[in-house]
Chains A and B, each alone.
Chain A
Amino acid sequence: MDALDLARWQFGITTVYHFLFVPLTISLVFIVAGFQTAWYRTGNDKYLKLTHFYGELFLINFAIGVATGIVQEFQFGMNWSDYSRFVGDIFGAPLAIEGLLAFFLESTFLGIWIFGWDKLPKRVHLAAIWIVAIGTLLSAYFILAANAWMQQPVGSIVNTAAGRAELKDFGAVLTNPTVLLGFPHVIAGAFMTGGAFVLGVAVWRLLRRAGADDAPFRTAARVGATALLVGGLFVLVTGDQLGQHIATDQPMKLAAAENLRTTETSAPFSLFTLWDLSGKEIVSIQIPDMLSILATHDPNGQVQGIDNLQAQFQAQYGPGDYSPIVPVTFWSFRFMIGAGSLAALAALWFLWRMRKGRVPGRGAVAIAVVLPLLPLAANSFAWIFTEMGRQPWIVYGQQLTSAGVSPSVSSLEVAVTLVGFTLLYGGLAVVEVGLLLKRIRGPLAAEGALADSAQTSTPFSY
């Protein structure tokens, strides 16, 4: 493999890994803030216990999310220096603003929240966690705006003499249709992730540690299932909008999601297709007209095919292959939808099985364990789809990925850091999962800890 391939693998591995933690952070901070608010309003200890319990799980997760975020910012310059030179005028600004507006807010107020239990009035302490929550949203918005510009480079021109893209309208970058649709899609996906986590943990506790803590965990299960279900609904609506947007803005991505070779009207959507090596279909289960409906909301709508687009791009950009790796886009698109839908169905099922104080059977333990993994998988496949579907472009229509890699970095250097990060991340994953499981199995809250008035305690100090 050359430096380009290695750098792409490194970006893929570190980004997918980082994004396992991000959506959980975004949603858990809101859920924990919700529990703490409920405690503040009602004084009911149940909510304080849930704040402590899920708060600690949130912090275990947050630690790795923050730590691996550093790599994200540094690797643009390290592995993609020609990309950085080309896009810095536009792409750098949201990154810097994210740091200034969001990172400072999150990290500072999280410190205040962790250590401030006994040092601040209840109301101020509660405000701290809400500020962290707002910070995570701001953070997501600016990063997604930066990514959206790579998908749909608005508000800028390419200055060929200077060899770079130049910003002309920052407002347009911040109101890029791709971020206006993508942001709610990602946030809704994040709530599915946190909801599934809270629900899965609560159900596991109800079935495996039934007893004194049942009341709080029933509440947690309901909150988790609701977040998962409402998140799922928004994911569906925004995903539908995004699909239509992609159909016009990045038709190649949509064509590659279906492996639609030639432009068609009334195009079907295949749930499952196998091809032989020559590209001929062996089996295919299809829903008639569905792709046309997804793309245009019209069963007779026209969807452009890969071969037609390829010819069109060659005429526009010169010789070259302008289609992504189709099996990757095809399957990641389906796995995304499949995993997300399964998770939402599980939420419905749990709500039904647990209605009016009922308890699901022991068999539900397995579902509770698998459930949190489903949205995580859906998020990962979604990013793999959207990023791989943009290929061969790093900035759509403006810079090829192969033109963005660092010329001064050798393949050996990229290989060393790729192996280094992968080993480090693997080790951290083992440690993190170990700590999460230990915490999940542990007591909801220590005896006496709460009677002592939580405001004189620092439950999360180091």
Chain B
Amino acid sequence: MLHDIWFLLIAVLWIGYFVLEGFDFGLGMLLPFLGRNDGERRALINAIGPVWDGNEVWVLVAGGATFAAFPNWYATLFSGFYMALFLIVVALILRGVAFEYRSKRDSARWRLGWDWAIFIGSAVPALLWGVAFANIVGGVPIDAHKEFTGNLLTLLNPYGLLGGVVTLTLFMTHGAAYIALKTEGELRARANRLLVSIGLVAALAAVVFLGWTQLSSVVADSAVVSVVAAVALLGALAANRLGREGWAFIATAATIALAVTALFMHLYPNVMPSSTNPAFSLTVNNAASTDYTLAIMTVVAVIFMPLVLLYQGWTYWIFRKRVSADRVPDVAAPAAPAGPAAPPAAN
């Protein structure tokens, strides 16, 4: 019973992570292409400035919760997907530092370097999380001692790679929807246009991937959720067409949430199926902590999860206004006469 609650909570944490960090990964990937000058790029980065770090915490909590609730899942997954996680961590480090450091020097080369750090730091995890999840759901070689027996190339199978393409394109679409919602003028118009083309690619990839998942073993509920996810994505494109940017963003968020839900429904009651022998699979039972630990964690989660949602929601409310390239405070030029306070170190 408690195992199941924690399976559900970990699914919720990953959904939260992909929905929230999904759009700032998407924005990071689109940054060098949508932002054509420094002002536009700074407007884009400032559009996620107040929230990206809070979004990233979701993955840390998901990781910590997996460690606490399913130590064997955490151990097998993290030691097994070793190189993929190394690349993800390096990317996240680069990206986090890039946001903070980009505007600290007034040099085109410095800023361009960090722009590409943001791009790579967003694209690598966007791709590899999809690869990782596809492999978790699809199954990987795991022996009788719960040890992963493959390597990085084991993960790069067609199904895994397709999973990566889905998250990559889906996050780009989600990012475009966010940019359309949060910026003005040219940036907004470009994001609106881009959303259609990327959205169609994402829809195609997602339909093939979710269909493939169902083909391997049909799970009726998860199939229904997959179809709803696909419909939501088409709904996002339609809403965007109609100029309803808020609805378009909600729809891309729903697509991601539903797609991840479908995967977790498909996974249950396994947490990491073994492709070597189904008897070696990690399940919610054989991977879990004791009921005592799970009970304590449940109490903590029940109290604090709603609180977190509340204050993170409040953040989005505080920073609800659109960001414009013309109105971004010019951190690079403290000499600007009418400019609002620039940080003294800006150049």
Give me the interface of A with B, judged by CB distance under 8 Å. Answer: 52-53, 56, 59-60, 62-64, 66-71, 73-74, 76-79, 81-82, 84-85, 87-93, 95-101, 103-105, 107-112, 114-120, 164, 166-168, 170, 406-409, 413, 416-417, 420-421, 424, 428, 431, 435, 438-439, 442-450, 452, 454, 456-462
Query: If A92-B74, A104-B54, A111-B54 touch, does A413 touch B82 (CB 8 Å cutoff)?
Result: yes
**Is B342 an interface residue when CB atoms closer than 8 A count as contact?**
yes
**Is B300 an interface residue when CB atoms closer than 8 A count as contact?**
yes
Chain A residues closer than 8 Å to B331, beta-carbon distance: 461-462
Contact A98–B64 (Cβ < 8 Å): yes
Query: If A78-B85, A120-B318 touch, does A115 touch B64 (CB 8 Å cutoff)?
Result: no
A153 to chain B, nearest CB (A): 15
Contact A96–B42 (Cβ < 8 Å): no
A195 to B233 Cα, complex, angstroms: 53
- Beyond the given pairs A52-B341, A60-B104, 16 more chain A to chain B contacts, judged by CB atoms under 8 angstroms and listed by A's residue number, are A53-B344, A56-B343, A70-B89, A88-B71, A89-B290, A90-B293, A92-B74, A100-B300, A107-B54, A108-B51, A108-B312, A110-B53, A439-B344, A442-B345, A448-B337, A449-B342
**Is B221 an interface residue when CB atoms closer than 8 A count as contact?**
no
Contact A85–B60 (Cβ < 8 Å): no
- The 8 Å CB contact of B86, one of A63, A170, A417, A449, is A417
- The 8 Å CB contact of A119, one of B78, B80, B318, B337, is B318
Contact A74–B293 (Cβ < 8 Å): no
**Is B212 an interface residue when CB atoms closer than 8 A count as contact?**
no
**Is B112 an interface residue when CB atoms closer than 8 A count as contact?**
no
A290 to B42 Cα, complex, angstroms: 60
Interface centre among B78, B86, B147, B334 (most CB of A within 10 A): B78
A67 to B118 Cα, complex, angstroms: 13
Give me the interface of B with A, judged by CB distance under 8 Å. Answer: 42, 45-46, 49-54, 56-57, 60-61, 63-65, 67-72, 74-80, 82-83, 85-86, 89-90, 92-94, 96-97, 99-105, 145-149, 289-290, 292-293, 296-297, 300-301, 304-305, 308, 311-312, 315, 318-319, 328-329, 331, 334, 337, 340-346
Contact B78–A81 (Cβ < 8 Å): yes
Contact A92–B100 (Cβ < 8 Å): no
Contact A70–B99 (Cβ < 8 Å): no
A-B contact count (CB 8 A): 287
Please name 25 pairs of A and B residues whose Cβ atoms are closer than 8 Å in the assembled complex, sorted by A.
A53-B344, A66-B96, A73-B63, A85-B75, A88-B289, A89-B68, A91-B67, A92-B69, A97-B300, A99-B61, A100-B301, A108-B57, A108-B311, A108-B312, A112-B318, A167-B289, A409-B82, A435-B345, A442-B345, A446-B341, A457-B340, A458-B329, A461-B329, A462-B100, A462-B103
Chain B residues closer than 8 Å to A421, beta-carbon distance: 90
A130 to B97 Cα, complex, angstroms: 23
Interface centre among B103, B319, B329, B344 (most CB of A within 10 A): B344
B129 to chain A, nearest CB (A): 13
Q: Which 5 A-B pairs have the closest CB atoms?
A: A88-B71, A77-B78, A457-B341, A92-B68, A449-B341
Chain B residues closer than 8 Å to A428, beta-carbon distance: 93, 97
Interface centre among A78, A87, A445 (most CB of B within 10 A): A78
Chain A residues closer than 8 Å to B293, beta-carbon distance: 89-90, 92-93, 166-167, 170
| B340 and chain A: residue at smallest CB distance | A457
Chain B residues closer than 8 Å to A112, beta-carbon distance: 50, 315, 318
Contact A114–B149 (Cβ < 8 Å): no
A98 to B292 Cα, complex, angstroms: 19
Contact B46–A95 (Cβ < 8 Å): no
Chain A residues closer than 8 Å to B340, beta-carbon distance: 118, 449, 452, 456-458
| B328 and chain A: residue at smallest CB distance | A461
B271 to chain A, nearest CB (A): 13
A81 to B121 Cα, complex, angstroms: 26
A439 to B308 Cα, complex, angstroms: 34
Chain A residues closer than 8 Å to B312, beta-carbon distance: 104, 108
- Interface of chain B: mostly helix, strand, loop or mixed: helix
A371 to chain B, nearest CB (A): 21
A402 to chain B, nearest CB (A): 16
Contact A96–B101 (Cβ < 8 Å): no
Contact B53–A92 (Cβ < 8 Å): no
B302 to chain A, nearest CB (A): 11
A103 to B342 Cα, complex, angstroms: 28
A39 to chain B, nearest CB (A): 14
Contact A92–B71 (Cβ < 8 Å): yes
Contact A56–B92 (Cβ < 8 Å): no
A161 to B64 Cα, complex, angstroms: 25
- The 8 Å CB contact of B344, one of A76, A79, A120, A443, is A443
A152 to chain B, nearest CB (A): 19
Contact A84–B67 (Cβ < 8 Å): yes
Contact A93–B296 (Cβ < 8 Å): yes
Contact B92–A67 (Cβ < 8 Å): yes
Chain B residues closer than 8 Å to A416, beta-carbon distance: 83, 86
Contact B305–A111 (Cβ < 8 Å): no
| A142 and chain B: residue at smallest CB distance | B64
B231 to chain A, nearest CB (A): 32
- The 8 Å CB contact of B64, one of A82, A99, A117, A438, is A99
Interface centre among A69, A85, A431 (most CB of B within 10 A): A85
Chain B residues closer than 8 Å to A111, beta-carbon distance: 49-54, 315
Contact B93–A68 (Cβ < 8 Å): yes
B122 to chain A, nearest CB (A): 14
A12 to chain B, nearest CB (A): 17
- The 8 Å CB contact of A449, one of B60, B103, B344, is B344
Contact B85–A74 (Cβ < 8 Å): yes
A48 to B35 Cα, complex, angstroms: 34
Contact A95–B67 (Cβ < 8 Å): yes
Contact A115–B49 (Cβ < 8 Å): yes
Contact B102–A81 (Cβ < 8 Å): no
Contact A93–B71 (Cβ < 8 Å): no
Query: If A119-B319, A435-B101 touch, does A446 touch B344 (CB 8 Å cutoff)?
Result: yes
A434 to chain B, nearest CB (A): 9
Contact B82–A107 (Cβ < 8 Å): no
Contact B105–A438 (Cβ < 8 Å): yes
A395 to chain B, nearest CB (A): 14
